[in-house]
Each structure stands twice: as structure tokens, then as C-alpha cells.
Structure 1
């Protein structure tokens, strides 16, 4: 689970600007999606 897409996008863009990785002006966008499938990578659970 993750936080609100708008909040995460704003926090990420602010951090990129602060560190000089990106410069303004720039466009930030956020999206929601539904999981279409998945697969485990490595051992996720310990079964007793």
C-alpha cells in the first residue's frame, strides 16, 4: 500500500528540486492503477 498519489508526487518532485536533480519548470502527474497480476521474487513468507 502507498499513500495518496498526489502527496507522493509532490514530495518526490520537491526532493528532486531540492537536490538539484531536476529544475523548474516541470510537470508532475499522478495516476492510480489496479494490479493486473504479480509474482513473488524471493521468499516472502515463512511457512511453519
Structure 2
């Protein structure tokens, strides 16, 4: 019984670490995408509605 419980805890810990690694990876990719690409002209949002 203790072995099964330990195995489940190890699997849950492994899934948690994998999720944290993926979150850190995608966050880093998103930050680099914002920092490294120059802004396109005319891509900003307009505050007023266009007539």
C-alpha cells in the first residue's frame, strides 16, 4: 500500500514539475517575441471609432 501511494505522489510531482517547466518556457518565448520584434506601424488600437 505504501508503494502505490509513493508512486502516485511521485507521478503527481513529476506532472507538476513538467507543467512548471512548460509554463516557464512559454513565458520566456512570449517575452522574447515582444522584445525582439519591432512594432509594426499602424498596428496600435484606435481609441475613437472610425467614421
- How does the TM-score come out when normalised to structure 1? 0.36
CA radius of gyration, larger in? 2
Q: Compare relative contact order (CA 8 Å, sep 6+) and give the higher one, 1 or 2.
A: 1
More helix by share: 2
- How does the TM-score come out when normalised to structure 2? 0.34
